[in-house]
Chain A
Amino acid sequence: MKVECEGNTYEFEKPMQASRLLEQLSLSRETHLVVVNSRLVTEDHKIDRDDEVKLIRVVSGG
């Protein structure tokens, strides 16, 4: 799967849960939302190999 986050792109071979993906990138579910194929998903969502993933940071400066 292709994962986009803050201008970086990552490739992951195996399918995995959204929560696992956040963990791998050391991101918190409180600060990042997971969008799979343009749809927001919950952390138990299983991401497939050919999915397109975007991680959206929700915190802004102030």
Chain B
Amino acid sequence: MKCRVCGKPANINLRSYKTSLCEDDFIAFLEKRVSTTIKKYRLIDETDTPIVAVSGGKDSLSLWYMMNGLGYASDGIYVDLGIEGYSGRSLEKIRQMADILQRKVYIFHVRNALQEGIDSVAKVIRRPTCSACGTIKRYIMNRICIDKGYTVLVTGHNLDDEASALFGNVLYWKKEYLWKKNVVLEGKEDHLVKKIKPFFLCSEREIAAYAIMKGIDYIYEECPFSKDAKTLVYKGILNRIEESSPGTKIMFVKGYLNVVKEKGDEKEGDREGRYCLQCGYPTFSDKCSFCRLLDKFGTGCSVEFDQYG
């Protein structure tokens, strides 16, 4: 196969775009899609100071790298879940990238704040590890922005993440979540930071290819708890459909965004917003779930961040 742009041997075949490209032209092609996404959906403007949520995986490290390359200078935030071996190896990859980008990364150690790793915390509160992890990550990533003055939280969610989540929400008609996904989720002043997903329209395959071409050293192993069986099953099914009908995933997700846009006008009345009396985070009661964790496990210290770079 030849590169459609320059005629050199192609390095990747993109069946959903009916094209094949060499390294240089693929990198340009993917970066263009991301910068178009950023502009079209008004993800970031000149006055913003973005911070990227990094995990050490291919998506977040590629995103952090690309953002800085595209001129959106961004620091990073990493939540160290205290998982034996895995967390340390992830942090190593993140430090490496911080050095390459010459950017700062903040690190929140769950073990320091809650005296336990994520698995023990989850066990005590009788929640699945991934759900406790989600609660803590969402909270801390919001908190860093409020504490340090970042105006946009950038996450590495990709097309396959969105398509599989959407697929699951449709299968079980989870109406309460179904229409809530988007490339951008607006914030609430002083309480909730704006969240954006510049990789919304980029597939895992494309991002992995980008990481390989750019020599981005990411953690290849999976989080030992992330065996979210359902997500993997949905991704597998969607990839099988993609194999026989290229372009299905991107059509599914783009179509969804169009419907969300149409629905935008019939705005549902926001449920009466309440905020945690202790920290100001949105909650349905007096105290948010993170502050409740701090009460149970914490040392009474405030939330603190390490800093690297």
Chain A residues at the B interface, C-beta cutoff of 8 Å: 28-31, 33, 35, 39-44, 56-62
State how many angstroms separate the Cβ of B102 from the closest Cβ of chain A: 26
With an 8 Å Cβ cutoff, the count of chain B residues facing the other chain is 35
What's the Cα separation between A43 and B11 when bound, in Å?
A: 9
State how many angstroms separate the Cβ of B222 from the closest Cβ of chain A: 5
Hey, which chain A residues are within 8 Å of B222, CB to CB?
60-61
> Residue on B with the closest CB to A30?
B239
Determine, out of B67-75, B109-117, B205-213, B264-272, the stretch whose residues face the partner at the interface.
B205-213
The one of B11, B205, B228, B243 that contacts A58, using a Cβ cutoff of 8 Å:
B205
Given contacts A40-B209, A58-B209, 4 further A-B contacts (CB under 8 A): A30-B242, A40-B212, A44-B1, A61-B226
Are B161 and A62 interface neighbours, CB within 8 A?
A: yes
Chain B residues at the A interface, C-beta cutoff of 8 Å: 1, 10-13, 20, 23, 57-59, 160-161, 164-165, 204-205, 207-209, 212-213, 220, 222-223, 226-228, 231-232, 235-236, 239-240, 242-243
Are B212 and A33 interface neighbours, CB within 8 A?
A: yes
Are B232 and A59 interface neighbours, CB within 8 A?
A: yes
> Residue on A with the closest CB to B212?
A40
What's the Cα separation between A58 and B204 when bound, in Å?
A: 6
With contacts A39-B11, A60-B59, A61-B226 taken as known, whether A33 is within 8 angstroms of B208 at the C-beta atoms is yes
Are B208 and A56 interface neighbours, CB within 8 A?
A: yes
State how many angstroms separate the Cβ of A27 from the closest Cβ of chain B: 11
Hey, which chain B residues are within 8 Å of A30, CB to CB?
205, 239-240, 242-243
What's the Cα separation between A38 and B20 when bound, in Å?
A: 19
Are B213 and A33 interface neighbours, CB within 8 A?
A: no
Hey, which chain A residues are within 8 Å of B161, CB to CB?
62
Are B226 and A31 interface neighbours, CB within 8 A?
A: no
With contacts A33-B209, A56-B212 taken as known, whether A61 is within 8 angstroms of B228 at the C-beta atoms is yes
With contacts A29-B243, A59-B160 taken as known, whether A42 is within 8 angstroms of B12 at the C-beta atoms is yes
> Residue on A with the closest CB to B206?
A58
Are B11 and A62 interface neighbours, CB within 8 A?
A: no
With contacts A30-B205, A60-B57, A62-B228 taken as known, whether A42 is within 8 angstroms of B243 at the C-beta atoms is no
State how many angstroms separate the Cβ of A29 from the closest Cβ of chain B: 7
Are B205 and A33 interface neighbours, CB within 8 A?
A: yes
Are B1 and A42 interface neighbours, CB within 8 A?
A: yes
State how many angstroms separate the Cβ of B206 from the closest Cβ of chain A: 9
What's the Cα separation between A62 and B166 when bound, in Å?
A: 13
What's the Cα separation between A59 and B57 when bound, in Å?
A: 11
Are B231 and A62 interface neighbours, CB within 8 A?
A: yes
- Residue contacts A-B, CB under 8 angstroms, 26 given: A28-B240, A28-B243, A29-B13, A30-B240, A30-B242, A31-B239, A33-B205, A33-B208, A40-B11, A40-B12, A40-B209, A42-B10, A42-B12, A56-B212, A56-B220, A57-B220, A58-B58, A58-B207, A59-B160, A59-B236, A60-B57, A61-B228, A61-B232, A62-B165, A62-B228, A62-B232
